[in-house]
Structure 1
Amino acid sequence: MSDPSIDADGRLRHLITLDGLGRARIEGLLDRATSLREQFRAGSTSLPLLAGRTVVNLFFEASTRTRTSFELAARRLGATVVNFDIASSSTSKGETLEDTLATIEAMGTDAFIVRHKENGTPARLAAHARRAAILNAGDGNRAHPTQGLLDLLTIRDHKKRVEGLRVAICGDIRHSRVARSDVHGLHALGAAEIRLCGPAALLPDAGEFPGCTLSGDLDAALDGVDVVVMLRIQKERIEGLPGLDEHAYFARYGLDRTRLARAKRDAIVMHPGPMNRGIEIAADVADGAQSVILEQVANGIYARMAVLAELLAAR
C-alpha cells in the first residue's frame, strides 16, 4: 500500500512520523521554520498564508504545550482554529473515529491535529481522509513528529548542524514517543551517535532502535556528548521499579551539574516537558546556562507553522 503521507505529486500530504521522511524533506521543514521565525522576529505579527483555512484540534489526551503551540501556529498563519470537545462529542456516544472525521471534514475543514493514546490512530485517520491533512500530535508511544522537528531545529540553532553530533537521550525510553521521533530525525540528519539511557525496565527491546546504544549507566552515556535530552518520568512508573523511589531515581538517573560536566563543555540540555524537577533533572540545570528548554517551547510554534504551511498553503 502506498504511503498516504505523500500525494501523487510527491508532496507531503500528512505528517504522521519522521521515520522515512528523508533528510531533504526534514531539512526543508527546518529551513521553512527558520524563515518564518525570522519574519516574526523582524516584526510580523501574522502571515496570511492560511487565510480561509480551518484547522481542527482533535485531542483525545490532555495537552497544554502541544495544543497551545499548534493553536498559536495556525492563528499566526491566519487560519481559523476549532478546538474539538471530546467529552461532549459523538465519539463518547459510540461514533467511530472515521465517522467523526468524515462529519467534520464535510463541513469544509482543512486539517486535523490529532493526539491519541493508541498507536497508529493518526495514520488510520489519514487513510480515511478525503481532502483534509492529518498531523500527528502524538500517538501512544509511537511518534511525536513535530516535537522531533522542534528538537532538531533547536539543536541546529546551537550546533549549526546535526551531522556528526553525539546525543544522549535519557529516561523512560520504552514509553516515549518523543524519543522515537528524535531518533528518527537524528538518524535522518546524520547524527554520529545516539545513546539511550535509563533503567532496564524502561529501555526498549533489543533491536527496536537500530543504530543506537542502550545503557543503564547515565555517567557513561553522558561522556563527551554534544546534546543531552532528558525525558519526563511518570511517578507511577518509578513506583513499579524495584528499589527505585523518586530520590533513588534522581541519584542514579537524574541530571545534575556534576553529571552534566561529563558532557562537552558546550553541550546543550533539552527536555520536552513537563519537567519533574529533582527527579529527572535538577532545578539549577533546568534553569542553567546550558539549558535550551524554553527555546524548544518557542521553536515549537515555528516548527508547527512550517508543517501547516507545507501541508496547506499550496492547496
Structure 2
Amino acid sequence: MKSLTSLQHLSDQAILSLLDRADKAEFPNLANRMAANVFLEPSTRTKCSFEMAEMNLGMRSITIDEAGSSLQKGETLYDTVKTLEAIGVSAVIIRTKEKAFYNELHDVQIPIINAGDGSGDHPTQSLLDLLTIKQEFGTFRGLQVVISGDIRHSRIASANAAVLERLGATVRFSGPSEWMPEDAKTITADEGCRQADVWMALRTQLERHDESEPVFPHYLEEFGLTPERADTFRPHTILMHPGPVNRGVELHTSLVEAPFSRIFKQMANGVKIRQAVLAEVVKTKEEKCYEKAV
C-alpha cells in the first residue's frame, strides 16, 4: 500500500489485514523515520491520534497548520508536499477542506495519508469504525447498521456505508430528508433504533452548510437519539460516533458514556489503526527504495 487516500482503492482482504494488524498491535519500530502532519482544518481526535501513533512507533514528527505554512503566501499543496519529500519526510498526513486534494499529488513519491478531505473521505476514521464493529461482533456479514444525521455533508457516511456493504452489512440512513443524498436507503429514527445492531450518530456539519440549509431547532426530539429511543435498542446494540459530539443535539448527553456506547473505544482504536496504516505505507516505501537500489 503506497498511500491511503480512500478505502475504495483497497481490496477487502487488504482492509481486513489492516484491521487484524491493528487489533493484534503488531507494529515495527520506525525509529529515525519522520512523519509530517499537515492539518489545514481543525482537528482534535485525528490529529492527536496520529501524533500518538507516530510516537508509539518511535517516529519523529513535524506538524504544519495553514497559519504557519507558506500556503498562506500562495504556495500550492503540491509544492508543500514536494518540500517535505525533499527534506526527507517518510510519510505525509493531510487534512484539508479540499475534496480529493490527493489528485494533484500524483507525482509525489512519498506516501500520502488522507486525514479528511472536506466532505469527501476519511479512510482512517472508516477503518477505526470497522475495527470497533469487528471487535464487537467478529464479523460484518448480516449486521444492520444505521447511520444517523447530516448524511449529505458527511465524509464518513457514504464511505462507511460503501465499505460496510462490501463486507456484508446492510446500511440505512436516518435523518432529515433535506440532508439525504439521492437514492439513499432511509429508515426513521424509531424504526432504526429497534432494528440496528450498530447506531452510528453524526454531528450536523454546520461549517459545510450554506444559508439555504434548513434549521431543525428540535432536531434531537425529531431525528436524534433520545433516552426513550435508546431504550428500544436490542441488548447487543452499540452506539458509535466519530466525534466531535454535540451533546444534546444528535444524541442526549446521558448516552455518550452509556454502557452500550463505544465512542471512547473508537478513539482508542484510532491510535491502533493509524499505527497500522503508518507501518504499512512506510514499509512499502522502503521496499520500493530497496528495489530501485538493487
2:255 corresponding residue in structure 1: 285
Seq. identity, %: 42
In 2, the alpha carbon distance for the partners of 1:119 and 1:238 equals 17
Is 1:18 the counterpart of 2:7? The answer is yes
After TM superposition, list the pairs within 5 Å mapping 1:227-238 onto structure 2. Answer: 227-234=198-205
In 1, the alpha carbon distance for the partners of 2:89 and 2:214 equals 49
Q: Which deviations, in whole Å up to 9, do the C-alpha atoms of 1:32-64 show, x marking residues without a partner?
A: 00111xx6xxxxxxx652112110001110111
Q: Measure how far apart 1:180 and its partner are.
A: 2.2
Q: 1:258 to 1:52 in 2, by over 3 A?
A: same
Q: 1:174 to 1:243 in 2, by over 3 A?
A: closer
1:79 corresponding residue in structure 2: 59
Q: Measure how far apart 1:124 and its partner are.
A: 2.6
Could you tell me which of 10, 15, 20 is aligned with 1:31?
A: 20
In 2, the alpha carbon distance for the partners of 1:219 and 1:149 equals 28
Give the letter aligned to residue 185 of structure 1. Answer: V
| Residues 117, 140 of structure 1: 8 Å contact kept | yes
In 2, the alpha carbon distance for the partners of 1:243 and 1:73 equals 38
SS of the equivalent of 1:229 reads: strand
In 1, the alpha carbon distance for the partners of 2:9 and 2:206 equals 33
In 1, the alpha carbon distance for the partners of 2:172 and 2:139 equals 18
| Residues 56, 82 of structure 1: 8 Å contact kept | yes
Q: Measure how far apart 1:183 and its partner are.
A: 1.4
1:42 corresponding residue in structure 2: none
2:292 corresponding residue in structure 1: none
2:193 corresponding residue in structure 1: 222
Q: Measure how far apart 1:182 and its partner are.
A: 1.3
2:128 corresponding residue in structure 1: 150
Could you tell me which of 139, 152, 159 is aligned with 1:161?
A: 139
Greater displacement, 155-164 / 85-94: 85-94
Q: Which deviations, in whole Å up to 9, do the C-alpha atoms of 1:109-157 show, x marking residues without a partner?
A: 11100101011103432x1212x10000000111000000000000111
**Structure 1: unaligned runs, 5 residues or longer:** 1-11, 40-46, 207-211
In 1, the alpha carbon distance for the partners of 2:160 and 2:223 equals 20
1:298 corresponding residue in structure 2: 268
Give the letter aligned to residue 220 of structure 1. Answer: E
Is 1:275 the counterpart of 2:245? The answer is yes
Is 1:197 the counterpart of 2:174? The answer is yes
Give the letter aligned to residue 54 of structure 2. Answer: A
What TM-score does the superposition give when structure 1 sets the normalisation length? 0.85
Could you tell me which of 277, 282, 289 is aligned with 1:307?
A: 277
Could you tell me which of 47, 55, 60 is aligned with 2:40?
A: 60
Structure 1 runs (4+) deviating above 3 angstroms are 234-243
What TM-score does the superposition give when structure 2 sets the normalisation length? 0.91
Is 1:108 the counterpart of 2:108? The answer is no
**Structure 2: unaligned runs, 5 residues or longer:** 287-294
SS of the equivalent of 1:50 reads: coil
Greater displacement, 55-64 / 217-226: 217-226
| Residues 40, 65 of structure 2: 8 Å contact kept | no
Give the letter aligned to residue 252 of structure 2. Answer: A
Q: Measure how far apart 1:266 and its partner are.
A: 1.0
